[in-house]
A and B are shown apart, each in its own frame.
Chain A
Amino acid sequence: MGSAHNRPLSDPEIRVKALESLLVEKGLIDPKIIDVLVDTYENKVGPHNGAQVVARAWSDPQYKKRLLDDGTAAIAELGFTGMQGEDMVVVENTRDVHNMLVCTLCSCYPWPTLGLPPVWYKAAPYRARAVSDPRGVLKEFGVNLPNDKEVRVWDSTAELRYMVLPERPAGTESMTEAELAELVTRDSMIGVALVQSPA
């Protein structure tokens, strides 16, 4: 960077540069290996993984049953395993029940299927209100549920991560699994959005 930057560094920018340089000097971290890991989570792992799981569950009733019985194993069938996804529970949205996820204590989130969480998921307002006013939060995300639809809020932990299986929208009966996966958004698997019918 050197002269390329044209603004003073922020406090965390200074601190991470300092810490990284000390750790490299002591031979404790290798920036090349770090770059590979950052690239993996920035460009390879993400909600397109979870969308494949959802599309498979919508297309294959046997898979759906396995997914709801043992989320970790069924998700592993599609190759999505690893850190922050060691113990997965998939909760199904139905005509009568809407599920949404939060981590009130921290920012626990199913990395192998959804990637890294968005800032709002990790920030105080969502974590505080998702459990006390879930319908209000959903309204702010544009989801207006009928009063007689039950809302279940699942508080993730360090060990156990949830994922929502959204309702399959109308008008998708003839779609292939790959086409279905295209419809599934990150927010629908957190439970703060519904999957929309194709335009």
Chain B
Amino acid sequence: MNGIHDLGGKHGVGELDVETNEPIFHGEWEKQVFGIFFGLAPHGFFNLDEFRHAIERMGAAKYLNTSYYDHWLTSFETLLVEKGVITAEELATRCAEVAKEMN
């Protein structure tokens, strides 16, 4: 797939930004995303290739403007809906509830 993820040699994607003493995770939400990957793995809803492929079909603008663990999260959302584990509606409803409750 010749998508935006194929970044080798591309120009114009910004400057190197190296954080000194970088933590392993930036915030709780990154840990949650990382953990969900392992929580889901034993169920076999999707394999690693499907997981990467779902990231590769995010679309160029979204891919470049979101962080690594957001890519993972997007892949979970895409695949879990496609595989019928959850529905897009229940996810959207729950997101709205969380946003209302927490914000």
Given known contacts A28-B39, A28-B43, A124 and B98 CB-to-CB distance under 8 angstroms: no
Give the distance to chain B from A182, nearest Cβ to Cβ, in Å. 17
Q: Select which of A5, A38, A115, A124 is within 8 A of B10 by beta carbon.
A: A124
Name the residue among B27, B64, B67, B102 with the largest chain A CB count within 10 angstroms: B102
Q: CB-CB < 8 A to A42: which residues of B?
A: 24-25, 31
A55 to B80, CA, bound (A): 44
Q: Which residues of chain A have a CB within 8 Å of any CB of chain B?
A: 1, 5, 8-10, 12-23, 26, 28-31, 33-35, 37-38, 41-42, 46, 102, 104-107, 115-116, 118-120, 122-132, 137, 140-141, 155, 158
- B61 touches A (CB below 8 Å): no
In the complex the two chains form, is A34's CB within 8 Å of B7's CB?
Answer: no
* Nearest B residue (CB) for A17: B98
Q: Select which of B35, B49, B52, B64 is within 8 A of A37 by beta carbon.
A: B35
Overall SS of chain B's interface: helix
In the complex the two chains form, is A22's CB within 8 Å of B36's CB?
Answer: no
Q: CB-CB < 8 A to A31: which residues of B?
A: 35
Overall SS of chain A's interface: helix
Q: CB-CB < 8 A to A22: which residues of B?
A: 86, 90-91, 94
In the complex the two chains form, is B52's CB within 8 Å of A155's CB?
Answer: no
In the complex the two chains form, is A38's CB within 8 Å of B103's CB?
Answer: no
> Number of B residues contacting the other chain (C-beta, 8 Å)?
56
Q: CB-CB < 8 A to B16: which residues of A?
A: 120, 125-126, 129, 137, 140
Q: CB-CB < 8 A to A41: which residues of B?
A: 24, 34
Give the distance to chain A from B17, nearest Cβ to Cβ, in Å. 6
Q: Which residues of chain B have a CB within 8 Å of any CB of chain A?
A: 5-11, 13-19, 22, 24-29, 31-36, 38-40, 43, 48-49, 52, 55, 64, 66-70, 73, 76-77, 80, 85-86, 90-91, 94-95, 97-99, 102-103
In the complex the two chains form, is A16's CB within 8 Å of B22's CB?
Answer: no
A101 to B5, CA, bound (A): 17
Give the distance to chain B from A111, nearest Cβ to Cβ, in Å. 11
Given known contacts A18-B91, A34-B36, A38-B35, A12 and B73 CB-to-CB distance under 8 angstroms: yes
In the complex the two chains form, is A125's CB within 8 Å of B15's CB?
Answer: yes
* Nearest A residue (CB) for B64: A124
* Nearest A residue (CB) for B6: A105
Q: CB-CB < 8 A to A107: which residues of B?
A: 68
In the complex the two chains form, is A12's CB within 8 Å of B70's CB?
Answer: yes
Give the distance to chain A from B2, nearest Cβ to Cβ, in Å. 11
